[in-house]
């Protein structure tokens, strides 16, 4: 073997190694944003599980507020089924339904919190306080999970579109940009429905 | 790198030394005189030793975050905790792990640290931990704590912990050269008397070597300190910015910094090992004279980078958030917040919570009309002074008392005292306590000069009969310990006692005084207190408890560490409650002792001690004719 062969073989090996590294990075980034979406689901489910508890705990105090309670429960059920319908896939239509249901739920919870203001006994209840904390935490988690998802999508897209990564990505199954989670009125969703007792 | 340079420097020092020595033999040929094998041997040994020291420290620091946290006195917060504040902190950590897209680190709590601080430790984000101080847990609200934890997450994500651990290990290696030098110096000077003239040269060489090493170490330490400080400061700004990125809420960390700036304990951490880890923390661990060595930028600059339109005002800590107060009641034994808040804190928080309850008690007083008039008087500074003096009125020795009032020359005071001193004589100890507590806020309105006059007047009135009784002592301590820090510059005693054993004699006297107030078995009450403290003590005789010794003992107790004080207060509460209720005089004494000890939270403690709020309120009213304080 002369030196030219050795050099060209080495160059080919280097290029191949490089391609492998880029491909693996693409896989890692794509898995990361998919996991990000799964995280949002987990947090939304957590929230849907908490709401019945809150309703159950406050029912005793809020005998005359049936309507408000029912509205919260209905909105929660609608959102939960929208999430189920989505089934873990990231499609625009399903997300649209989900975001509508989430908005309704947020509004219902907001009204619920106004109603609770009128019951000072509720304020003292350690149970309600704890649920309130859990709910506040869950709202944050939903928001952060969405942030995390969008950040992961962005870094995946950026990496995929860069040169020379683009060449590898287009040949080996990473042909499309991932979609960012954009709700119509994201302003309102970012704003966690606050149940304040002050 | 720095270490390698230092090792080379050390070797150069050797070269210079040996050359200097050869010089005395003759400058002709250095090479032959130089003992090269010796030179390399010494250089090698030094390099090896420094290397080992660096390695050991490195291994030590990089054992994973949980060990570091444990070494600094942290305890793991259990995931299933039912304490609201810990629950909230855990939630925050989990939320931010989502935001930062990383595994959830364990949360540690530095239970005994009252400064507002936090740190992250661990070499990799899989073994990272976040630790927060109790001060941070209680002084910050949800958003602010989130900002602080976000800052720590940035340290984890940016690999700052690995960097700082290397830095810490290196630093140890560098300072070790200096240590070696100082050891050599000491040995050199010690052997002075024993060595013969023949070895004098060797001794001189050793001294010179020691000095050289010492200087190199000093220089290295200085440089390393500057480098560490510069790197660390930049990392802090980055972490503050990342915190905003994670939480998308500049107010969170901004307000946290503003609270820290105005916080009494600042970000200082007591733990002895905190110094080594200072760069891991959220804020400065120790005070630095010169900011060049500080590991953190000044709070003001950090705030301005986050909130450029900051008006320069710090924020007060969130003492009365809903979660906070409910936990304070449930876990009164951990009520460090109240301990720390001390007298100043009492002003804003505790009086406010004490007053409404006491106001309810007024309804149960013997003659409501007279008491309403008395309590009404407490809202005015002059009236408050008159009431407190009236309580000290002594018909047998009133001459010097009235004279002192004339000398003091406070207009209208003597008339008021004359008006109230008779009605005050019929008051029970618990009613007196209420009046004292309600008078304090009004007295806060005095000017420092007025307060000094009043304070002197109080002392004269107490001394009128030539002796101080327990009741007078309680009144004086309650007033002075709440007002001195605000109106005259007094400083808290230095904390000396770390164990209860150190103050067992003083505890015996204090608990003894309380036990003698019980209505049932004095011995049993005393033993109950001793059990809580797990000390074996003997009950002093009633006659043996003299005022001077008692005062000294309480002062000693005030020099205990905060958590010991909680135990002491608990023991006192159990002594007082031994007969099934806490009488007004017992409560007054406990409150006065607590005031001296700077922990004005006995209400919560007593409540936590199984004496419910309701029953306590009933007990506040003594049966008529109870002996009270002698």
pLDDT in tens, B476-487: 888 887 777 766
Most confident of B360-369, B444-453, B526-535: B526-535
Give percent of chain A with pLDDT exceeding 70: 89
Q: Token pair of B176, please?
A: 């070790």
Whether B248 and chain A come into contact, CB under 8 Å, resolves to: yes
Among B527, B492, B501, which Cα is nearest to B600's?
B492
Q: According to the model, what pLDDT value does residue B589 have?
A: 83
Nearest CA in chain A to B320: A198
pLDDT tens string A83-139: 888 776 767 677 778 878 888 888 888 888 788 777 777 766 777 778 888 888 888
Mutation pick from B86, B98, B104 vs chain A, by most beta carbons of A within 10 Å, is B98
**Alpha carbon of A88: minimum distance to chain B alpha carbons (Å):** 18
B246 neighbourhood in chain A, CB within 8 Å: 144
Distance of alpha carbon B526 from alpha carbon B541, whole angstroms: 12
User: pLDDT band at B148, cuts 50/70/90?
Assistant: very high
Distance of alpha carbon B627 from alpha carbon B107, whole angstroms: 53
Q: According to the model, what pLDDT value does residue A24 have?
A: 92
**Alpha carbon of B146: minimum distance to chain A alpha carbons (Å):** 10
- Tell me which of B317 and B436 has the higher pLDDT: B436
A117 neighbourhood in chain B, CB within 8 Å: none
Whether B360 and chain A come into contact, CB under 8 Å, resolves to: no
B100 neighbourhood in chain A, CB within 8 Å: 148
- pTM of the predicted structure, to 2 decimals: 0.51
A145 neighbourhood in chain B, CB within 8 Å: 98
Average pLDDT, chain A: 81
- Tell me which of B4 and A177 has the higher pLDDT: A177
Q: According to the model, what pLDDT value does residue A6 have?
A: 92
Cβ atoms of B495 and B561 within 8 Å: the answer is yes
Length of chain B: 630
Distance of CA B75 to the CA centre of its chain: 18
Answer whether B101 sits within 8 Å of A152, measured CB to CB: yes
User: pLDDT band at B15, cuts 50/70/90?
Assistant: low
What's the mean pLDDT in A171-193?
65
List the single range of B254-263, B277-286, B518-527 with lowest mean pLDDT.
Answer: B277-286
Mutation pick from A31, A124, A147, A187 vs chain B, by most beta carbons of B within 10 Å, is A147
Distance of alpha carbon B480 from alpha carbon B475, whole angstroms: 9
B89 neighbourhood in chain A, CB within 8 Å: none
User: pLDDT band at B292, cuts 50/70/90?
Assistant: low
**Alpha carbon of B99: minimum distance to chain A alpha carbons (Å):** 5
Q: According to the model, what pLDDT value does residue B89 have?
A: 92
Under an 8 Å CB criterion, which residues of A touch B? 32, 36, 39, 43, 123, 126, 129-130, 133-134, 136-137, 140-141, 143-145, 147-148, 151-152, 197-198
B146 neighbourhood in chain A, CB within 8 Å: 140
Q: Token pair of B339, please?
A: 């301990």
Among A192, A182, A179, A103, which Cα is nearest to A141's?
A192
Count residue pairs from A and B with Cβ separation < 8 A.
48
What's the mean pLDDT in B306-324?
70
Answer whether B84 sits within 8 Å of A133, measured CB to CB: yes
Distance of alpha carbon B144 from alpha carbon B267, whole angstroms: 14
Answer whether B91 sits within 8 Å of A133, measured CB to CB: yes
Distance of alpha carbon B550 from alpha carbon B41, whole angstroms: 66
Question: ∠B596-B347-B118 over CA atoms, to 5°?
Answer: 85
Q: According to the model, what pLDDT value does residue B132 have?
A: 92
- Beta strands in B7-100, from DSSP E residues, in sequence order: 75-76
Instruction: Kindly list the distances between the CA atom of residue B602 and the CA atoms of B282, B297, B473, in Å, as whole numbers in the listed order.
Output: 32, 39, 18
Distance of alpha carbon B118 from alpha carbon B108, whole angstroms: 9
User: pLDDT band at A20, cuts 50/70/90?
Assistant: very high
Answer whether B323 sits within 8 Å of A36, measured CB to CB: no
User: pLDDT band at B3, cuts 50/70/90?
Assistant: low
Answer whether A137 sits within 8 Å of B88, measured CB to CB: yes
Q: Which of B113, B152, B276, B327 is catalytic?
A: B152
Q: According to the model, what pLDDT value does residue A9 have?
A: 93
Q: Is the pLDDT of residue B75 over 80?
A: yes
Average pLDDT, chain B: 73
- Tell me which of A169 and B372 has the higher pLDDT: A169
Q: According to the model, what pLDDT value does residue B544 have?
A: 72
Q: According to the model, what pLDDT value does residue B486 have?
A: 67
Question: In sequence order, what are the residues at sequence separation of 6 or more whose Cβ sits closer than 8 angstroms to the Cβ of residue B331?
Answer: B83, B608
Q: According to the model, what pLDDT value does residue B192 have?
A: 53
Q: Is the pLDDT of residue B303 over 70?
A: yes
What's the mean pLDDT in B593-606?
68
Answer whether A36 sits within 8 Å of B101, measured CB to CB: yes
Q: According to the model, what pLDDT value does residue B273 have?
A: 66
- Tell me which of B386 and B618 has the higher pLDDT: B386
Residues 140-179 of B with CB under 8 A from A: 142, 146
Q: According to the model, what pLDDT value does residue B322 have?
A: 42
Q: Is the pLDDT of residue A17 over 90?
A: yes
Q: Is the pLDDT of residue A189 over 80?
A: no
Whether B78 and chain A come into contact, CB under 8 Å, resolves to: no
Distance of alpha carbon B379 from alpha carbon B438, whole angstroms: 7
Most confident of B90-104, B201-215, B577-591: B90-104
**Measured between CB atoms, which of B84, B87, B322 is closest to A197?**
B322
Whether B331 and chain A come into contact, CB under 8 Å, resolves to: no
User: pLDDT band at B61, cuts 50/70/90?
Assistant: low
**Measured between CB atoms, which of A130, A136, A144 is closest to B98?**
A144
Q: According to the model, what pLDDT value does residue B354 have?
A: 33
Answer whether B95 sits within 8 Å of A140, measured CB to CB: yes
- Tell me which of B9 and B484 has the higher pLDDT: B484
pLDDT tens string B86-143: 889 999 998 888 888 788 888 999 888 888 889 888 777 777 889 999 888 888 888 8
Most confident of B38-47, B248-257, B311-320, B566-575: B248-257
A148 neighbourhood in chain B, CB within 8 Å: 98-101
**Alpha carbon of A171: minimum distance to chain B alpha carbons (Å):** 29
Answer whether B84 sits within 8 Å of A36, measured CB to CB: no
- Tell me which of B57 and B564 has the higher pLDDT: B564
- Kindly give the pairing relationship between strand B129-133 and strand B106-110: parallel
Nearest CA in chain A to B89: A137
Cβ atoms of A62 and A112 within 8 Å: the answer is no
Answer whether B322 sits within 8 Å of A129, measured CB to CB: yes
Answer whether B98 sits within 8 Å of A148, measured CB to CB: yes
Cβ atoms of B535 and B507 within 8 Å: the answer is yes
**Alpha carbon of A4: minimum distance to chain B alpha carbons (Å):** 40
B99 neighbourhood in chain A, CB within 8 Å: 144, 147-148
Q: Is the pLDDT of residue B357 over 50?
A: no
B98 neighbourhood in chain A, CB within 8 Å: 39, 43, 141, 144-145, 148
Buried b / exposed e over B242-257, threshold 16 CB at 10 Å, is bbbebbebbebbbbbb
Q: According to the model, what pLDDT value does residue B92 have?
A: 92
**Known catalytic membership, residue B152:** yes
User: pLDDT band at A13, cuts 50/70/90?
Assistant: very high
Q: According to the model, what pLDDT value does residue B617 have?
A: 37
In this structure, the number of other CB atoms found within 10 A of the CB of residue B435 comes to 24
């Amino acid at each position: 073997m002369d030196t030219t062969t050795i050099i060209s073989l080495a160059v080919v090996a280097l290029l191949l190694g490089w391609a492998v590294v880029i491909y693996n990075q693409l896989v890692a980034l794509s898995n990361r944003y998919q996991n990000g979406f799964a995280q949002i689901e987990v947090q939304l489910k957590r929230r849907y599980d908490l709401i019945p508890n809150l309703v159950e705990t406050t029912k005793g105090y809020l005998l005359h507020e049936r309507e408000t309670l029912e509205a919260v429960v209905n909105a929660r059920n609608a959102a939960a089924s929208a999430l189920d319908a989505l089934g873990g896939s990231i499609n625009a239509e399903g997300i649209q339904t989900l975001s509508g249901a989430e908005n309704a739920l947020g509004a219902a919870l907001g009204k619920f919190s106004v109603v609770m203001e009128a019951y000072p006994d509720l304020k003292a209840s350690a149970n309600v306080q704890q649920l309130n904390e859990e709910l506040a935490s869950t709202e944050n988690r939903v928001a952060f999970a969405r942030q995390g998802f969008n950040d992961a999508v962005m870094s995946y897209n950026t990496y995929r579109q860069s040169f020379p990564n683009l060449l590898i990505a287009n040949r080996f199954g990473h042909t499309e940009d991932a979609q960012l989670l954009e709700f119509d009125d994201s302003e309102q969703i970012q704003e966690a429905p606050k149940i304040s007792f002050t | 790198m720095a270490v390698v340079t230092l090792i080379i420097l050390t070797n150069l020092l050797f070269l210079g030394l040996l050359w200097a020595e050869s010089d005395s033999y003759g400058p002709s040929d250095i090479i032959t005189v130089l003992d090269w094998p010796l030179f390399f041997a010494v250089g090698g040994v030094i390099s090896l030793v420094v290397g080992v020291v660096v390695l050991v420290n490195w291994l030590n620091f990089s054992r994973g975050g949980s060990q570091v946290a444990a070494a600094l006195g942290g305890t793991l917060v259990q995931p299933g905790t039912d304490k609201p504040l810990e629950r909230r902190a855990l939630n925050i950590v989990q939320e931010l792990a989502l935001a930062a897209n990383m595994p959830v680190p364990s949360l540690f709590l530095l239970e005994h640290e009252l400064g507002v601080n936090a740190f992250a430790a661990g070499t990799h984000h899989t073994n990272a931990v976040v630790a927060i101080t109790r001060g941070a847990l209680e002084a910050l609200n949800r958003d602010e704590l989130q900002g602080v934890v976000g800052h720590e997450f940035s340290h984890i994500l940016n690999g700052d912990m690995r960097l700082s651990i290397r830095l810490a290990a290196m630093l140890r290696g560098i300072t070790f050269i200096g240590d070696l030098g100082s050891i050599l110096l000491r040995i050199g000077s010690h052997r002075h008397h024993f060595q013969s003239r023949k070895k004098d040269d060797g001794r001189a060489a050793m001294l010179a070597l020691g000095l050289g090493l010492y200087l190199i170490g000093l220089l290295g330490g200085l440089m390393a300190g500057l480098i560490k400080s510069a790197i660390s400061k930049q990392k802090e700004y980055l972490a503050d910015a990342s915190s905003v990125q994670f939480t998308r809420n500049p107010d969170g960390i901004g307000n946290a910094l503003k609270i820290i700036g105005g916080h009494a304990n600042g970000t200082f951490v007591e733990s002895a090992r905190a110094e080594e880890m200072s760069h891991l923390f959220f804020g400065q661990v120790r005070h630095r004279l010169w900011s060049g060595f500080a590991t953190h930028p000044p709070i003001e600059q950090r705030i301005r980078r986050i909130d450029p339109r900051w008006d320069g005002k710090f924020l007060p800590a969130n003492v009365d958030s809903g979660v906070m107060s409910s936990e304070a009641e449930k876990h009164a034994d951990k009520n460090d917040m109240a301990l720390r808040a001390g007298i100043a804190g009492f002003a804003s928080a505790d009086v406010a919570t004490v007053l409404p309850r006491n106001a309810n008690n007024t309804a149960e007083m013997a003659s409501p009309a007279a008491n309403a008039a008395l309590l009404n008087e407490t809202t005015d500074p002059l009236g408050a002074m008159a009431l407190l003096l009236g309580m000290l009125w002594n018909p047998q020795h009133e001459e010097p008392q009235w004279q002192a009032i004339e000398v003091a020359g406070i207009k209208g005071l003597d008339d008021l005292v004359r008006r109230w001193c008779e009605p005050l004589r019929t008051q029970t100890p618990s009613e007196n306590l209420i009046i004292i507590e309600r008078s304090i806020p009004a007295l806060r309105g005095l000017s420092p000069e007025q307060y000094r006059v009043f304070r002197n007047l109080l002392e004269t009135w107490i001394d009128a009969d030539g002796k101080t009784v327990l009741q007078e002592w309680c009144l004086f301590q309650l007033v002075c310990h709440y007002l001195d820090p605000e109106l005259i510059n007094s400083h808290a005693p230095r904390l000396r006692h770390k164990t209860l054993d150190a103050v067992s004699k003083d505890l015996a006297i204090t608990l003894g005084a309380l036990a003698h107030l019980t209505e049932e078995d004095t011995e049993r009450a005393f033993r109950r207190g001793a059990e809580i403290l797990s000390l074996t003590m003997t009950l002093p005789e009633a006659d043996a408890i003299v005022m001077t010794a008692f005062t000294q003992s309480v002062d000693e107790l005030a020099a205990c560490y905060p958590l010991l004080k909680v135990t002491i207060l608990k023991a006192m509460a159990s002594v007082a409650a031994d007969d099934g209720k806490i009488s007004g005089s017992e409560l007054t004494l406990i409150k006065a002792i607590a005031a001296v000890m700077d922990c004005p939270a006995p209400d919560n403690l007593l409540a936590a001690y199984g004496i419910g709020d309701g029953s306590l309120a009933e007990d506040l009213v003594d049966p008529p004719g109870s002996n009270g304080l002698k």
